[in-house]
Structure 1
Amino acid sequence: MISRQQMMAGKIFKDKLNRILVLSPLPIETQHNAHDGAHIIKAKTDVYLDIGHKSVCEGTENLALMINIVNVGFGGALLLSYFWLEMRGGTYYLLYWLFGTLIGTHFLYFQSIIRNYFSLKQFKFIRFNRQRREVALPFTDTQDFVIIPWEKLYAWAGTSMMITESTAIPLSTLTITMASPTDATDFKGRYEVAGGEEINCIMQWECIRAFMEDGPDACPEPSKVNTLTEYKAARRQMRKELGPWQWIKQKLIDWLHYSYFAHWLSDWHEKKLPKVTIPENIKRWSEPIPEDQWQQPSDEFMEANFLAHDFYDVGGHLGDVNMPVYDPRKKVTFNQQEKKPDEP
């Protein structure tokens, strides 16, 4: 088992099926581009960066497709039953069954949407304040925020091998957490983002690191991929480029996914949730402060970055086996692969 005292940025823990690449504490430069592949950046100002849930648009569209497949399938079954019912003078039952199915499936659809909304209200944002060099985390038992120093945040890219009959597939997850206040070796709360590959997790993390260390311009803007405005613009462009049959097919796909509603709902969530998930004390903490009061990087953090830069300058890469890792207790250590990682 890995205790948090063993974790420093750049260090790796590896066995046959698992690998953990530590990204923080002392979040050194990664030498990778910042890329918000999971679309978790929700807000960015000169002071703070919010990361939160993925867009609800995709989930809403997938759920709509499932219920419409049921509706279309049931409608087809009713059509096959038409002649059998017509001979008995009871074709009006078709309407009862059809309306009952549509009402039932859509009741479940909207019930799921409402339930997910209240679930997202409990899943609060993580806010990074670059002027104070602090992070507000919703990892308390009461779901209030706790504020910790940026340099003491724990983060890693964890990769596990999914074994099938014919191949092994690596699956990576970015994990952000904090030290447990009651256990000297454990963590408290977790925020996880599926990245697919380790490099995607590193680039996702680099969005946060670059914002905190290099400023807002170094971090991508909040994603507009699933906004209603983007959806309308994309469909207008398709209408010009697609032929009549392709356009009809696209409209049918959009209808089966309730795409217009899904994008509208995503916009509504993005506007509504920050107002109900971020309390007043965190909003006050997020206000700008005079530049002469900005917190500065620690000496340990500066030394860790200098050590990493020297390694990068001679061709090294983050997470290499021979990468020297700055440990404030030992000053410099080296990666060791014999350690057994926890499940990320």
Structure 2
Amino acid sequence: MTDNNENALDLKQQPPCAGEVRHFATGQALFLAPLPLPTGSPAMDLGGSFIEVNETYIDVGQSNFNKAFQVQLVVWGLMCVLISCLIILPLIVLSGVFFDPHQRPFMTHVMSALDMLAFSSVVALLGGGFAAILGGTAVIRTTLQKAQTRPIRFNRQRREVCFFLERSDEPIICPWEEVAAWVSTSTGTTGEAIMSTYTFGIAFPEAATGLTHVFNQGVMTPIHGLSKWEAIRVYMEKGPEFCPGTAPYEGLHTFDEKRQSVHENYRDGYTSAISVPWWYLCNIVTWWRFPYWVAEWDHRYSMKAMPDSITAWSQTLPAEQWAKPSAELLAQSAAIEKAFANGQSFPDYFSQANKQPHQTHNEHVNSP
């Protein structure tokens, strides 16, 4: 979470509007809101950010997806050190007993083997300990970092968004139609090649202080950011049945599901006979269920509870008390959906300067 893009995009001095393309030093950003208009992109949760989806709200944060794999990599590195030092090196030395071209005395080989075993044990202790501390620190650090920030909660019945600053228990609530969102492309050089990075950003205005708080998330491609925003938007405007469901989390149940899947794929002829013993060997080396136990701990620990005020704010409301979309949003949404039906894209629609709804929106957003 950073304000760097906010400064580059000048969100405070020049409030953006949907469809606007804004340039900054290293690239450009396409704004998707405000107002939150249809983008024409498929609604997808690429990356597993939707940690809760129900009739009242959607929580967008970080799931523990791939946490078990992260632990497995750490354990695999540790085991490679231990196996190399305690098994492979001693075997190489012991092989000299049987393949010694100089025919040295047997006790000479024994003493060499003992020396090598002592040396490899020290290396295994130091190297394994270093690998375990380094990898374990990385695993724990990512969990602690995730636990410091609560998810962003979008309440579709109130048409409001709840946002927490990092390490803060004070909620910031702003109207849904005032939230800004964009996908940006930045280009830089490594000295040998030109690299492009993509960012999905959301900005939350705080009426009490006049500040704008920015959430930035790196994405693999612009479509990842567009699809995530469209999934949030379609949830807020149409309901959970039009939005991807809750992202699955990893735990001990994931291990059982994978083991069952391996057996089913072999039974149905999708994999070879070697796949089953290979799966067991890989998981034995990476300490069987341990990585999935860590993933389950990560899920429990990092799911920070909401304050009582937000729990009350998140309660389901009677249908007659639901907030309604603005007339401007309804009119512009109908206009852009008509343009989509005629083959126009989101950028094409806004590139038409004679589109009166867009002009009206610009005047509305930029008015003091």
Q: TM-score, normalised by structure 2?
A: 0.76
1:1-344 pair list within 5 angstroms: 1-4=8-11, 5-14=14-23, 18-55=27-64, 56-75=67-86, 76-77=88-89, 80=92, 86-87=110-111, 89-90=114-115, 93=118, 94-95=120-121, 97-99=123-125, 101-139=127-165, 142-163=168-189, 168=194, 170-179=196-205, 187-190=212-215, 192-224=216-248, 226-240=250-264, 241=266, 242-255=271-284, 257=286, 260-274=289-303, 276-320=304-348, 322-323=351-352, 324=355, 325=358, 328=361, 330=363
RMSD between superposed Cα atoms in Å: 3.4
Contact 1:140 1:189 in 2 (8 A): no
Q: Which one-letter code corresponds to 2:256 in the other structure?
A: K
Which moves more between the two structures, 223-232 or 313-322? 223-232
Shift of 1:74: 4.1
User: In 1, are the aligned partners of 2:174 and 2:207 still within 8 Å (CA)?
Assistant: no
Identical aligned residues as a percent: 22
Contact 1:238 / 1:247 at 8 angstroms: preserved in 2? yes
1:177 offset after TM fit, Å? 2.3
> Could you tell me which amino acid in structure 2 is paired with residue 175 of structure 1?
G
Aligned partner of residue 9 in structure 2, secondary structure? coil
CA shift in 2, pair 1:256/1:173, >3 Å: farther
Q: Are the aligned partners of 1:64 and 1:258 in contact in 2 as well (CA < 8 Å)?
A: yes
Distance 1:29 1:92, change over 3 A: same
Task: Quote how far apart the aligned CAs of 1:173 are.
Answer: 1.8
Secondary structure, aligned partner of 1:87: helix
Q: How far apart in 2 are the matches of 1:78 and 1:8?
A: 68
| Higher relative contact order, structure no. (Cα contacts within 8 Å, ≥ 6 residues apart) | 1
Residues 49 and 129, structure 1, Cα contact 8 Å, conserved in 2: yes
- Indicate the structure with greater helix content: 2
- How far 1:312 moved relative to its partner? 2.1
Q: Aligned with 1:193: secondary structure?
A: strand
Secondary structure at 1:211 match in 2 = helix
Distance 1:187 1:270, change over 3 A: same
CA–CA distance in structure 2, aligned partners of residues 183 and 112 of structure 1: 36
Amino acid at match of 1:152: E
Amino acid at match of 2:152: I
Shift of 1:306: 2.9
Q: Look at both structures and tell me which one has the larger radius of gyration over its CA atoms.
A: 2
Displacement of 1:130 after TM fit?
A: 0.6
Deviation per CA, 1:193-232, whole angstroms, max 9, x where unpaired? 3321111211111121111111011111122274543442
When residues 52 and 62 of structure 1 are mapped into structure 2, their CA distance, relative to the original with a 3 A threshold, is: farther
2:169 and 2:307 in contact (8 A); partners too: no
The CA distance in 1 between the partners of 2:167 and 2:299, in whole Å, is 25
1:172 counterpart SS class: strand
Q: In structure 2, how many angstroms separate the alpha carbons of the residues matched to 1:78 and 1:108? A: 26
Instruction: For 2:209 and 2:319, locate their aligned partners in 1 and report how far apart those are by CA, in whole Å.
Output: 36
Whether the 8 Å contact between 2:180 and 2:204 is mirrored in structure 1 is yes
After superposition, the C-alpha distances for 1:283-321 in whole angstroms (9 at most, x for unaligned) are 111111111111111223223323322432332111236
TM value normalised by structure 1:
0.81
Please give the secondary structure, in 2, of the residue aligned with 1:194. strand
Paired residues in the alignment total 330
